[in-house]
Amino acid sequence: MPRIFGTDGIRGRANVDVTPELALQLGRAVARVLREEGHGRPEVVVGRDPRWSSPMLEDALAAGLASGGADVRSLGVVATPVVAHAAAATEVQAGAMISASHNPMADNGIKFFGHDGFKLTDAEEDRIEELLTQPGRDHGRPVGDEVGQIVEDHALVDDWADSVVSVGVDLAGLTVVVDAANGSASALGPEVYRRLGATVIPIHADPDGRNINLDCGSTHPQSLIDAVVSHGADVGIAHDGDADRLVAVDHRGVEVDGDVILAILARDAHESGSLPHDTVATTVMTNLGFRRAMRDLGIGVELTRVGDRYVMEAMRSGGLTLGGEQSGHLIALDHSTTGDGILSAAMLLSTIAAAGVPLAELRTVMTRLPQVLINVAGVDKHRLADAAHVEDVIAKVTDDLGDDGRVLVRPSGTEALIRVMVEAVTEDDAQAGARAIADAVRTTLASA
């Protein structure tokens, strides 16, 4: 059986890759692991996004947990960070979130959190997978009142909302358009921003199970841009399906991505003396303009592999509290144990309110270099490391750009693609460099 856990839990086509049978078996395996760790009757909090298949998978996962002797506290439709917060802030032993985040409606996934609110380690995931493939894995099931119970617990959602509101400042006078992606933020996002005093105009906040992430949310910001301009709003905020990301829009309709938001928050924390080691963590995909801006501000940058779990690992090992990705998956480790789009938005809006200047001015903290990304399909990505001609072309483009650009070529971790990214001072230079490398990859590594 191939490894089912990726960099962000389990994800795939609902009812094909991520099936109720798999969810049931996962529940039993997780319950067994928790009992092996000495928890006689473990408790697990479970949440889900509103996509069509999520109730099916939640019921199956909860049944598996209960069958394995674990009690389940169902949170209902919530943002992923609510599950992480509930796991960390209570005496439960684990948390589980059913969501495919920003993926299309037909996909779904399951991610787990430990009792500390952090995602499971590789070793813990390996043990769960071992149990899934182990003969006789159902041996010794609990019976009678040792079978777990499943109850609803919405009070934990209120606890998370209170914790987010406590981080923000009074937003009275700010008008905010919120694109909830017809997902988990549909009720939670507007509620939190209103509690902070903002005037909120929600859009795409009417989930029907089918419309999650459909031409909306953080990966499709155009409707948010249009709404901000037409309403004359101060700011726009777009979340993804499970609300662990955000993208912002200023009052002029200019998109502000995770790089820029992280730069704004980092400068604010640096100036207030609340940025440990005066360093932030981010991935190698972060725009070179971000790194230049941090250098000019005297802020260090810890670079990691692509994926929020790697950002988190660097933050925890380095004692950092702020990090994130260009996608808008930001982590404020002094307030949350995972990416929280609503918390990040509250922090951004609070920075705007406290500074008394518009986002359009704050976003000038960094100047983005043109960045061109080409995904080259139909190639053997495993041969990249030994492709001398490709290396020669990469070296030439890198040399031509000098200190004014950057090249990153890497195989996709999930698809049969090689990703070519080039940054340069001009769009033309970035396009030319990316095309040259992509052509070399395509001709040299074409699949048979």
Q: Which of 331, 348, 365 is the last residue of a domain?
A: 365
Note the pLDDT of residue 415. Answer: 73
Residues 354 and 235 in one domain: yes
Which is it for strands 94-98 and 43-48: parallel, antiparallel or unpaired? parallel
Note the pLDDT of residue 40. Answer: 83
Q: Confidence band (pLDDT; 50, 70, 90) for 342?
A: very high
Q: What is the mean pLDDT of residues 43-72?
A: 97
pLDDT in tens, 183-234: 999 999 999 999 999 999 999 999 999 999 999 999 999 999 999 999 999 9
pLDDT in tens, 267-298: 999 999 999 999 999 998 899 999 999 999 99
Structure-token pair, residue 401:
């750009």
Q: Cβ-count burial of 25 within 10 angstroms (0-12 exposed, 13-18 middle, 19+ buried)? A: buried
Of 4-8, 12-16, 157-161, give the lowest mean pLDDT range. Answer: 4-8
Residues 296 and 382 in one domain: no
- In this model, does residue 242 exceed pLDDT 90? yes
Residue 72 lies in a domain: yes
Note the pLDDT of residue 253. Answer: 97
Residue 340 lies in a domain: yes
pLDDT in tens, 349-373: 999 999 999 999 999 999 999 989 9
Q: Which of 310, 342, 365 is the last residue of a domain?
A: 365
Q: Exactly one of 99, 101, 218, 327 is catalytic; which is it?
A: 101
Residues 113 and 14 in one domain: yes
Give dist(CA 349, CA 347) in Å, integer. Answer: 6
Structure-token pair, residue 180:
């909830």
Residues 99 and 49 in one domain: yes
Note the pLDDT of residue 198. Answer: 98
Note the pLDDT of residue 319. Answer: 97
Residue 3 lies in a domain: no
Give dist(CA 301, CA 319) in Å, integer. Answer: 13
Chain centre distance of CA 161:
19
Chain centre distance of CA 54:
18
Note the pLDDT of residue 351. Answer: 98
Note the pLDDT of residue 339. Answer: 94
What is the domain-level CATH number for residue 194? Answer: 3.40.120.10
Choose among 338, 437, 330: nearest CA to 379: 437
Q: Which of 331, 365, 399 is the last residue of a domain?
A: 365
Q: Confidence band (pLDDT; 50, 70, 90) for 416?
A: confident
Residues 388 and 355 in one domain: no
403 or 266, higher pLDDT: 266
Residue 303 lies in a domain: yes
Q: Cβ(141)–Cβ(67) under 8 Å?
A: yes
Note the pLDDT of residue 448. Answer: 63
Residues 379 and 332 in one domain: no
Please state the pTM of the whole predicted model.
0.90
Q: Cβ(287)–Cβ(326) under 8 Å?
A: yes
- In this model, does residue 265 exceed pLDDT 90? yes
Note the pLDDT of residue 386. Answer: 87
Residue 4 lies in a domain: no
Residues 375 and 245 in one domain: no
Q: What is the mean pLDDT of residues 177-186?
A: 98
Structure-token pair, residue 145:
């009142």
Structure-token pair, residue 182:
């017809």
Q: Is the dihedral of CA 167, 172, 176, 182 positive or negative?
A: positive
Residue 304 lies in a domain: yes
**How many structural domains is the chain composed of?**
3
Q: Confidence band (pLDDT; 50, 70, 90) for 138?
A: low
**Which of 31-63 are b and which e, b meaning 16 or more Cβ less than 10 Å from the residue's Cβ?**
bbbbbeeebebbbbbbbbbbbbbbebbbbbbbb
Q: Cβ-count burial of 384 within 10 angstroms (0-12 exposed, 13-18 middle, 19+ buried)? A: middle
Choose among 345, 348, 337, 346: nearest CA to 311: 337
Residues 280 and 414 in one domain: no
Note the pLDDT of residue 444. Answer: 92
Q: Quote the domain boundaries for residue 263.
A: 167-365
What is the domain-level CATH number for residue 417? Answer: 3.30.310.50
Residues 250 and 193 in one domain: yes
**Which of 329-347 are b and which e, b meaning 16 or more Cβ less than 10 Å from the residue's Cβ?**
bbbbbebbbbbbbbbbbbb
- In this model, does residue 8 exceed pLDDT 90? no
Residue 1 lies in a domain: no
Three-state SS letters, the chain: CCCCCECCEEEEEECCCECHHHHHHHHHHHHHHHHHCCCCCCEEEEEECCCCCHHHHHHHHHHHHHHCCCEEEEEEECCHHHHHHHHHHCCCCEEEEECCCCCCCCEEEEEEEECCCCECCHHHHHHHHHHHCCCCCCCCCCCHHHCCCEEECCHHHHHHHHHHHCCCCCCCCCEEEEECCCCCHHHHHHHHHHHCCCEEEEECCCCCCCCCCCCCCCCCCHHHHHHHHHHCCCEEEEECCCCCCEEEEECCCCEECHHHHHHHHHHHHHHCCCCHHHEEEEECCCCHHHHHHHHHHCCEEEEECCCHHHHHHHHHHHCCCEEECCCCCEEECCCCCCCCHHHHHHHHHHHHHHHCCCHHHHHHHCCCCCEEEEEEECECHHHHHHCHHHHHHHHHHHHHHHHHCEEEEEECCCCCEEEEEEECCCHHHHHHHHHHHHHHHHHHCECC
101 is catalytic: yes
Residues 112 and 200 in one domain: no
Note the pLDDT of residue 5. Answer: 86
Residues 17 and 131 in one domain: yes
Residue 320 lies in a domain: yes
- In this model, does residue 1 exceed pLDDT 80? no
Residues 281 and 138 in one domain: no
pLDDT in tens, 75-122: 999 999 999 999 999 999 999 999 999 999 999 999 999 999 999 888
Q: Confidence band (pLDDT; 50, 70, 90) for 412?
A: confident
Choose among 274, 259, 261, 9: nearest CA to 118: 9
Q: Confidence band (pLDDT; 50, 70, 90) for 442?
A: very high
